Amino acid sequence: MDEKVSRKNLIKRIRNKYGRYWYRFKRNKLSIVGLGVLIALILMAILASLITPYPSNAGLYINLSQENLPPSLAHPFGTDMLGRDILTRIIFGLRYSFLLVGVVLSVTVIPGVVLGLIAGYYPKRWFSILIMRVADIFVAVPPLLLALSIASVLTPNITNAMFAVSLAWWPWYTRLVYTSTTSIRNEDFVRAAEVIGASPSHIMFSEIMPNLLGTILTKVSLDAGWVILIGAALSFVGLGAQEPTPDLGTMISEGAAYLPQVWWISIFPAIFIVIIILAFNLLGDGIKDMFSSSIR
Amino acid sequence: MAAILEIKGLKKYFKTRKGTIKAVDDVDLEIEEGEIFGLVGESGSGKTTVANIIMGLYLPTSGEIKYKGNNIAIPINKRPKWLKKEIQIVFQNPASSLNPKKTVRQILEVPISIHRPDAPLPQTIYELLEMVDLPPEFIDRHPEELGGGEKQLVAIARALSTEPSLIVLDEPTSSLDVSVQGKIINILMKLQKNFGLTYIFITHNLSLMSNVANRVAIMYLGKIKEIAKSEEFFTNSFHPYTKMLLSSIPVITEEEEKLKPKKILSTGEIPGALKLPEGCSFHPRCPFVMDVCKVKDPPLIEVSPNHLCSCHLYLNKQ
């Protein structure tokens, strides 16, 4: 009977707990906007082939009779120099932006966090010093510059661009987690876990990490915007996605030659990049509020 | 009775940029099985450092520390499992000693699964909660949903969960509301009696100490100044420092007033640990200071049976 009651209790508590997180998140109206915009953009990217007016324009498609048409009802964002509908290409381009964010963050966050936890939990061991010095070397170079230089020695394509951005990104997580871990490590609850005989991996992943989750998720969300920006910068200089892939950065770079008369080729993709970055930042603020227990 | 914990010549120095801090300086203690051994002293006297050395959270600079005859001057992560099971600690501040992200169930599950793999879950957790007088529905609460006293009871349940023999209580009530302190102490006393536990009870609260401890040691700047049975410590103390502290306990009734040692005014403050006074470290505050106190540190000697004191006033009587 006890067990039944306690299971019921547990379900109620879990609901309360997440209800509370949601309550803290939604108090900030702007983070709701950010979340809504992102969900809408992601849905658009997934359903691109269904909702775009000219799906064939996403790939290799040339119709010079339609080139450089200004925004109109048939082409809300106009057409580019090869006569392709820009709205269609932007919506397909979102796929590459989100793919880049997804791949880069899932590849960098986990190793970055694990390395930071290890280095922070054993701050004086040789491997920790090695991890942190290597991270410092990477951090010393601005991520954009590092990603650019890595990408420039590789064949320019999307995979290599992702690789370059990932390599520039992990040390920031390592450093963030390292700093927090070294301070949480001295809390009494960590010492209590040592006293009861918990293993180092239990202490790192089960005692320390849950306390860092808020910080990490906030950074993930704020970083997502930066990753998109850097990805776009790589594409802009020709080190990322290649023609005819509809990538926002590539589109801006292609349209740059036709500025200022044919402004719509570059400006609309640029506006979308700004919107994505802004939405990720607003979401990040919301996540930060969600985990900050000081404001209840 | 046999000694469960023996400490000999224990020293712990911390090197800092400004110099060496002698947090614990040549401490000898013998704790007997089943007793409540009180360790009192002002802030900065080294009580908590002693506790941390017993727990393996610090390594001593020098000296011996033995648990049931086994050397335990080993850092916590190198200690064998049986030793971790035997000695537990309750920290001063339950707000920081419980992980805010975990439920009571998760907090108590870990030590049970490590040290008593055969114990049934969650029944064992319910038993532990009952032992510390907490209702069973607390099992799925987070620490932030508990009061300060309740949190400390969870911390006590965690210490009990490994079925230890020795529990170090590092100021277990001093961060709590006065209204719950009494309850916590009663539960601790009940547990000690029921399970025949040995307690090392650390506090700066002398009136609390007089109610709980069997024997009391007083520390001043890393040194033991006096050790005696509780009754003797509170009625017939030798050391001027003990007398000074005892006479500053506020009392209400006249009977209590008569029990107190002759009034010695508390003067000065505990000096900085970086530059300890020459000779007896208490001499700058001592009303009976003699020339010898300023140059020679008095040893801890048995002044009367089972009553040790470190003071030049009693050295000559031997």
Q: Which member of A10, A188, A211 has the closest CB to residue B97?
A: A188
**Distant-in-sequence, close-in-space partners of A117: CB < 8 Å, separation ≥ 6:** A177, A181, A204, A205, A208, A209
Q: Would you call B49 an interface residue with chain A, using a CB distance cutoff of 8 Å? A: no
Q: Is the peptide bond before B75 cis (omega within 30 degrees of 0)?
A: no
Q: Is the peptide bond before A244 cis (omega within 30 degrees of 0)?
A: yes
Residue A156 to residue A93: CA distance in whole angstroms:
17
Residue A197 to residue A204: CA distance in whole angstroms:
13
Q: What is the pLDDT of residue A295?
A: 40
Residue A237 to residue A152: CA distance in whole angstroms:
10
Q: What is the pLDDT of residue A1?
A: 47
Report which of A288, A279, A280 is spatially closest to residue A215, judged by C-alpha positions: A288
Q: Would you call A2 an interface residue with chain B, using a CB distance cutoff of 8 Å? A: yes
Sorting pLDDT into bands at 50, 70 and 90, what band is B3? confident
**Distant-in-sequence, close-in-space partners of A237: CB < 8 Å, separation ≥ 6:** A148, A253
Q: What is the pLDDT of residue B267?
A: 66
Give this prediction's pTM.
0.82
- Residue A203 CA, chain-centre distance (Å), reads 28
pLDDT digit string, tens, across residues B151-181: 999 999 999 999 999 999 999 988 888 888 9
The C-alpha of A177 sits at a distance from chain B's nearest C-alpha, in angstroms, of 17
What's chain A's Rg over C-alpha atoms?
A: 23
What's chain B's Rg over C-alpha atoms?
A: 20
Instruction: Output DSSP code: residue A259.
Output: T
Q: Would you call A123 an interface residue with chain B, using a CB distance cutoff of 8 Å? A: no
- Residue A74 CA, chain-centre distance (Å), reads 33
Instruction: State whether residue A240 is helix, strand or coil.
Output: coil
With beta carbons less than 8 A apart as the criterion, state whether A215 and A289 touch: no
**Cβ–Cβ below 8 Å for B140 and A10:** yes
Instruction: State whether residue A79 is helix, strand or coil.
Output: strand
Q: Would you call A5 an interface residue with chain B, using a CB distance cutoff of 8 Å? A: yes
Q: Would you call B155 an interface residue with chain A, using a CB distance cutoff of 8 Å? A: yes
Q: Which member of B88, B96, B114 has the closest CB to residue A198?
A: B114
Calculate mean pLDDT across residues B92-101.
91
The DSSP code sequence of A182-219 is HHHTTSHHHHHHHHTT--HHHIIIIIIHHHHHHHHHHH
The C-alpha of B182 sits at a distance from chain A's nearest C-alpha, in angstroms, of 24
Reduced 3-state DSSP string for chain B: CCEEEEEEEEEEEEEECCEEEEEEEEEEEEEECCCEEEEEECCCCCHHHHHHHHHCCCCCCEEEEEECCEECCCCHHHCCHHHHHHEEEECCCHHHHCCCCCCHHHHHHHHHHHHCCCCCCCHHHHHHHHHCCCCHHHHHCCHHHCCHHHHHHHHHHHHHCCCCCEEEEECCCCCCCHHHHHHHHHHHHHHHHHHCCEEEEEECCHHHHHHHCCEEEEEECCEEEEEEEHHHHHHCCCCHHHHHHHHCCCCCCHHHHHHCCCCCCCCCCCCCCCCCCCCCCCHHHCCCCCHHHHCCCCCCEEEECCEEECCHHHHCCC
How is chain A split among helix, strand and coil, in percent rounded to 5?
75, 0, 25
Closest chain A residue to B155, measured at CA:
A192
In chain B, domain spans = 3-239
Fold of the domain built from segment(s) A21-51+78-291: MetI-like fold (1.10.3720)
Q: Would you call B48 an interface residue with chain A, using a CB distance cutoff of 8 Å? A: no
With beta carbons less than 8 A apart as the criterion, state whether B293 and B286 touch: yes
Q: What is the pLDDT of residue A296?
A: 38
Instruction: State whether residue A156 is helix, strand or coil.
Output: coil
Q: What is the pLDDT of residue A207?
A: 93
Sorting pLDDT into bands at 50, 70 and 90, what band is B287? confident
Strand order in the sheet with B3-16: B19-32, B3-16, B62-67, B70-71
Sorting pLDDT into bands at 50, 70 and 90, what band is B266? low
Instruction: Say if residue B87's pLDDT is above 90.
Output: yes
pLDDT in tens, chain A (296 residues): 455 666 676 677 666 667 777 888 888 888 899 999 999 999 998 988 888 888 887 777 887 888 888 888 888 888 888 888 888 899 998 988 898 899 988 899 999 999 999 999 998 899 999 999 999 998 888 888 888 888 888 888 888 888 888 888 889 999 999 999 999 998 999 999 999 999 999 999 999 999 998 889 989 988 888 888 888 888 888 887 777 788 888 888 888 888 888 888 889 999 999 999 999 999 988 888 888 754 43
Query: How many CA atoms does the CB half-sphere of A45 hold within 13 Å?
Result: 19
Instruction: Say if residue B121's pLDDT is above 80.
Output: yes
User: Considering the domain B3-239 in this protein, what is its CATH number?
Assistant: 3.40.50.300
In chain A, domain spans = 21-51+78-291
Instruction: Say if residue B192's pLDDT is above 70.
Output: yes
Which H or E element spans position A119? helix A86-121
Poorest-confidence range of A275-279, B189-193, B281-285? B281-285
Q: Which member of B76, B81, B101 has the closest CB to residue A195?
A: B76
